[in-house]
Amino acid sequence: MTCCLSHSAAAAAAAGAAGAGDPDRHRAMAGRRVGFCLSDKKRRRMNLDAFAHLCAGNGVEVVEIDLTQPLEPQGPFNVIIHKLSDIIVEAEHDSESQQMLADFQSYVSAHPNIVLLDPLPAMTQLLNRFASYRIMTKLHKALRDWRICSPPYLEIHNASDLSSIQQSVMNQGLSFPLVCKTRVAHGSLSHEMSLIFSAGSLVDVHPPCVLQSFVNHGAVLHKVFVVGNRHFCVERPSLKNFPSGPCERETIFFNSQQVSKPESSCDLTSVLFRHRIFSLPSSLYFLFLYKLDEQMPHLPPPSSEAVEALVRELRVQLGMALFGVDVIINIHTHTLTVIDINIFPGYEGVPQFFSSLLCHIESVLERRISAGAQATGSAEPDQTTVVSSADLSGP
Tens-place pLDDT, residues 296-355: 557 788 999 999 999 999 999 999 999 999 999 999 999 999 999 999 999 999 999 999
Element (H, E) at 35: strand 32-37
Q: Give the other-Cβ count within 10 Å of 16's Cβ.
A: 19
Q: Chain centroid to CA 79: how far?
A: 21
- State pLDDT tens for residues 53-76: 999 999 999 999 999 999 999 999
Give residues with Cβ within 8 angstroms of 30, minimum separation 6. 59
Segment 157-170, tens digit of pLDDT:
998 889 999 999 99
248 vs 255: CA distance, rounded Å: 22
Residue 301, pLDDT score: 87
Q: What is the pLDDT of residue 387?
A: 32
Record the pTM. Answer: 0.83
Which DSSP string do the residues of 318-360 spell out, in sequence order?
H--SEEEEEEEE-TTT--EEEEEEEES---TT-TTHHHHHHHH
What is the Cα–Cα distance from 344 to 284, expressed in whole angstroms? 44
Best CA proximity match to 187, nearest among 252, 262, 92: 92
